[in-house]
Amino acid sequence: MQKKFLNFLHRCDNKQELLDQFVKDFNQFSDDFPDLREDNNTKEELHQRCDVLSDELWEIVEDRKESNTEERKKIMESGAVENNLDFLTTCAQQLLQSELDKFKTSIQIIHDYYFAIEEKTTHELTGAITSELTFDGEEMPSVEVLNEGCDATVLASYVYPRLEKLLQMALKQQVVPDVTAVAAGAGGDKKGAKAAPPKKGAPATKETEADAPTEESQYVKEMREAVKVEKSLLRFRLVQIRNWTVQRLQDTRQTAINTYKKFDDWIQVAQKTEMDTIEEMCTIVKKAIEEEAKIQHELRIEFMDFTVDNSTLNFINPPLPKLESLEDSH
């Protein structure tokens, strides 16, 4: 983007053509009316023509500044940075989805392992079902709504709505059903209907004692603890992905803001330097006017550079006349 803008700043214009035409007319006037160069009114007229040339060149510089500002505005409104931010957010969404898939698969493995120890079947009770992180039926939040003039404080405190929404959607999927209760209910159904309650005053039997709540086994406690650890890991990794993405988004936006400011500085520097080169050129021309001399060496003005090309001459000085011989030839 910076190279493209620099190439635009260095585009060609017609300042050199105006300068060449002025030098040509200036030297032609000196050849046609050499005696008038000494007249003060003539010098004043030539100074005025030099000022007119300077004004024309300054108008070109002003037009270039307006074009540069418009080009900077087009770059800012092109959406290139916003597309990059959207791409980063999409990458974060894919990372969050991968963590959810990994979490659901880990939970399935934990359930299968501990239920296999107790010779129970969990494939019908727990399925590794993962919801997609999508905005189906909802309006997808924008990546950001920052203005150009925002400072570093605003940028650091800004909360990216789409990323935060994705994080909340991902955190909601850490809920895991209590498979032990489901398994107990399924096991009771296999044993048949429950026995009728004992009559009033009858002594407790083995069947009624079996209906009393039993203490959870060691394997069930270990399974619950393993699930708890997986949830903790999931929350940690989801937040880490969010924080990493926020940092990348802030860095990308800050880089863009710095680049736009740099473009504005380049525009201001280019305008000032071009005007300085015009002033330097006018000084050379006015010096030739006061010295009543022609502009022999070619003047070069291009973008921010003004040079006097000593290797190129606008005219060739005529050779000195030969002295007459002092002796008569016979």
Report the pLDDT value the prediction gives residue 130, as an integer from 0 to 100. 62
User: Does residue 123 share a domain with residue 112?
Assistant: yes
User: Does residue 111 share a domain with residue 42?
Assistant: no
User: Does residue 184 share a domain with residue 241?
Assistant: yes
Helix (H, G, I), strand (E, B) or coil at 283: helix
Report the pLDDT value the prediction gives residue 181, as an integer from 0 to 100. 63
User: Does residue 152 share a domain with residue 251?
Assistant: yes
Structural domain that includes position 117? 81-188+217-263
Report the pLDDT value the prediction gives residue 286, as an integer from 0 to 100. 94
Residue 242 placed within a domain: yes
DSSP state of 134: -
User: Does residue 153 share a domain with residue 236?
Assistant: yes
Helix (H, G, I), strand (E, B) or coil at 194: coil
User: Across the chain, how many H-helices and E-strands are there?
Assistant: 9, 2
Residue 85 placed within a domain: yes
Residues in CB range of 27: below 8 A, 6 or more apart:
294, 295, 314, 315
Residues in CB range of 285: below 8 A, 6 or more apart:
22, 26, 50, 53, 295, 299
User: Does residue 104 share a domain with residue 61?
Assistant: no
User: Does residue 31 share a domain with residue 169?
Assistant: no
Q: Are 67 and 20 in contact (CB under 8 A)?
A: no
Q: What is the pTM of this model?
A: 0.73
What does the H/E/C string look like for 28-78? HHHHHCHHHHHCHHHHHHHHHHHHHHHHHHHHHHHHHHHHHHHHHHHHHCC
User: Does residue 96 share a domain with residue 8?
Assistant: no
Residue 194 placed within a domain: no
Alpha helices in 291-316 (DSSP H): none
Report the pLDDT value the prediction gives residue 111, as an integer from 0 to 100. 85
Residue 94 placed within a domain: yes
pLDDT by residue for the chain (330 residues), tens only, comes to 999 999 999 999 999 999 999 999 999 998 899 889 999 999 999 999 999 999 999 999 999 999 999 999 999 999 899 999 999 999 999 999 999 999 999 988 888 888 888 776 555 445 455 678 887 767 788 777 666 666 666 666 678 889 999 999 999 988 887 776 655 555 444 444 444 455 455 455 444 444 545 567 788 888 889 999 999 999 999 999 999 999 999 999 899 999 999 999 999 999 999 999 999 999 999 999 999 998 988 899 988 888 888 777 777 666 667 767 666 666
User: Does residue 59 share a domain with residue 18?
Assistant: yes
